[in-house]
Amino acid sequence: MLILSLPYHSPPSEHIPASIQYIEYRLDLGSTPIAYADFTDRHIITDKNIVDAADYLAIQEQTQAQRPLLDVELQLYEQIQYRLDPTRLIISLHQRDLDLQMIAKLLSHSSHAQYLKLSLYCNSWQEVVQIAEMSEGTPNLIFVVMGIYGKLQRILHTFLGSIGTYVYDQVSTAEGQLSLAELSRLRLQHFEPHTQVYGILGSEIVNRSLSFVAYNDYFATRHRPAIYLPLPAQTPTEARYLISWLNQKLDLVGLSITTPFKTLFSEYLTSTQKAINTLNFRTQTTANTDLLALRQALDSLAVNCAAEVLVYGSGATALAFISQLQHWGYQNLSIGARRLTEHSESISGIPCKAMQDMVYDLLINCTPLGCAEDDDISVVPRARKLLDLPYNNTQTLLAKKFGCESKAFVDGKTFWRWQFEFQRRILLSESKDI
């Protein structure tokens, strides 16, 4: 069951998907007078500003003929429960801090309402699973998670004991909601246990990953029974737990791996590479497609082994780049980063020169420097060419600078697109011709 949540009285899109069963109107997010006569039995009335339980009785009376559902907070429901029509009722509980006793109380009202709604923040994926297991056997529960696990939990809601989830159109009404555009991209109506599952594992930034869009669009245009998930984790232990849970519940085929787990999984899988960003479980293949894209960038920018190259950054990507450049015969390598000492001549045991005040042939930026408008890009020395890894909806400050100076550069979106093509063929076991 999918519920489209809208601020009152925001008109929905012209073409509402057939999979939308209800439209929720958030009265607390609207600014226009409420026309109760316009509601129908396909609507849900929600107003989080109500503090007097009697207000729910008044709304119920004013909409008796149309019979929309009323979303009533658990604590207010308990004050007037015998005066509310259970066939028109959603009893809801919202929590920022987990309270298992209150959740148990909500679940005990399963037979007293059309639906129960549990909306909460979780501190880990283990907590998400704990609540799903606790609510098992509650057939009319709508369970939604807010925060960094929101998108993943809402995509997987049918595997986590929830009868439905909320989506939005133009404006999100709760943190973690899926949009109608994402809903179309994911094709959730076709998501079954045998669907091939891929995902991107990393910090909370995976919820905004370009890969989420690119892979799911790729699957949709080819009618491929597959889905690509954002997989946020806060610790290595949680990352391993999440992968184990997915393996138990679904057909997990492969992963993209991003910050901060590239080095961790290289060590965990005893890979010969210092960092990996691609893992295919079926073919038991690991790879770092950033290195393949790095080779393409060097060729595109015509940077040979004699060039003076500055790698700016000290994370897993910078380490992998320095190691690979040395392997390819690049000897004039320097390293720079804000958290490195000025005279550092190695990073994690890899010998290299410290950043100098000179003009480099190539600057490789492996940091977010330049993404924010107030970033001071003067901290990096001048260079003739640029490989800029971060990407925004607009060009970074470094890319803009090189463009204005008519200098050759590869921006973050171009680099990402190259590595995506390499990664896609490994993850999906495709030939180069596809």
Long-range CB contacts (within 8 A, 24+) of 376-379: 377/401, 379/338
Q: Are residues 358 and 305 in the same domain?
A: yes
Cβ atoms of 363 and 387 within 8 Å: the answer is yes
Q: What is the signed CA dihedral for 255, 184, 430, 236, rounded to 10 degrees?
A: 0
> Tell me, what CATH number does 257's domain have?
3.40.50.10860
pLDDT of the residue at 350: 59
Count CA atoms closer than 13 A to 80's CA, side-chain side: 18
Would residue 197 count as lying in a domain? Answer: no
Whole-model pTM: value is: 0.89
**Measured on CA atoms in the order 312, 315, 317, 322, is the torsion positive or negative?**
positive
Which domain, by its residues, includes 247?
A: 204-290
Identify whether 172 is part of a domain: yes
Q: Which of 138, 165, 191 is the last residue of a domain?
A: 191
The reported pLDDT for the residue numbered 352 is: 67
- Residue 390: both structure tokens together: 């971060």
Cross-strand partners of 310: 334, 363
Same domain flag for 117 and 102: yes
Provide the angle, in degrees to the nearest 10, between the axes of the packed helices 236-249 and 125-134: 40
Give the separation between CA 232 and CA 261, rounded to whole angstroms: 11
- Indicate the residue among 262, 290, 318 that finishes a domain: 290
- pLDDT attached to residue 256: 96
The answer to whether the bond into 260 is cis (omega within 30° of 0) is yes
269 vs 109, 140, 265, 407, CA distance in Å? 47, 42, 6, 40
Length of the chain equals 434
Per-residue pLDDT of the chain (434 residues; tens, 9 = 90+): 999 999 997 777 777 888 899 999 999 998 888 999 999 999 999 999 999 999 999 999 999 999 999 999 999 999 998 899 999 999 999 999 999 999 999 999 999 999 999 999 999 999 999 999 999 999 999 999 999 999 999 999 999 999 999 999 989 999 999 999 998 889 887 888 889 999 999 999 999 999 999 999 999 999 999 999 999 999 999 999 999 999 999 999 999 999 899 887 777 676 677 788 999 999 999 999 999 999 999 999 999 999 999 999 988 889 889 999 999 999 999 998 865 544 445 555 556 677 888 999 999 999 999 999 999 999 999 999 999 999 877 899 999 999 999 999 999 999 999 999 999 999 999 865 44
pLDDT of residue 270: 66
Q: 92: which strand partners?
A: 73, 117
Indicate whether 374 and 308 sit together in one domain. Answer: yes
Token pair listed for 301: 């920018």
The reply to whether 315 and 268 lie within a common domain is no
Tokens of 256: 């993209």
Domain boundary among 191, 215, 233: 191
CA separation (Å) from 160 to 33, 68, 129, 143?
38, 27, 7, 8
Work out how many domains the chain is built from and give that number. Answer: 3
9 cis-preceded (ω within 30 degrees of 0): yes
- In this structure, the answer to whether residues 286 and 305 fall within a common structural domain is no
